[in-house]
Amino acid sequence: MKLKFSQIIPSFVMTILVLIVLEILTTTLLPILGIEHYRLPFNILIILFLAFKLETPFIACLILVVQLFYSVFSVEGWAYGTFAGVIVCIIISYLRDMLHFDSKLFTIFVTQIFQVVWFIIVSLLIYLRLGTTEYILLKLARFLPESLVIPLMAPFFFMLLDQIWKVKEGGVLGEND
């Protein structure tokens, strides 16, 4: 049975609050530490968590809301991320039964793969819009350090979100509810 929208709202609101707090912290603390041009895309971690752990027909709407809140703190906007998030969720929906986050190492590996897929999708969209690779190369230079940090944070971030969403170990919300 799929989750109803009313069952999703409380946990989703908490997840958005976590995103806002993390974005405020990284927006203020990283420049203080002298790291001005790098951002940690927590939105990708949230969307990956939702894709892996949530089975609902509202997933595209949830991705849109996450991206809208993320766009408040980013110049990238919401459209590219929403499109990339939906594509990644479609891919994950086909692979969900084969992927189990039993180890932290596997979680890091899978997060890295889907973060690269996300980057490729967004870069392709930017290239189609601009017709040049200059911005993509600048984005790649920023992506490389970020892509090392985010997967390392993923196991701990997913544990936090498991607590917020009350996911049982290895469970998918909405699968047999």
DSSP string, 41-73: -HHHHHHHHHHHHB--TTHHHHHHHHHHHHHTS
Does 171 fall in a domain? no
User: pLDDT tens across 42-71, in order?
Assistant: 999 999 999 998 888 889 999 999 999 999
Give residue 174's pLDDT: 59
Which residues form the domain of 40? 9-165
Does 170 fall in a domain? no
Does 3 fall in a domain? no
Does 94 fall in a domain? yes
Nearest Cα to Cα of residue 115 among 160, 48, 69: 48
CB-based contacts of 174, cutoff 8 Å, min separation 6: 1, 2, 3, 54, 55, 56
Does 131 fall in a domain? yes
Does 59 fall in a domain? yes
Q: Do residues 136 and 31 lie in contact, with contact meaning Cβ atoms separated by under 8 Å?
A: no
Structural domains counted in the chain:
1
What 3-state DSSP class applies to 80? helix
Does 176 fall in a domain? no
Does 77 fall in a domain? yes
User: pLDDT tens across 67-121, in order?
Assistant: 999 999 887 778 999 999 999 999 999 998 887 777 889 999 999 999 999 999 9
Q: What is the pTM of this model?
A: 0.90
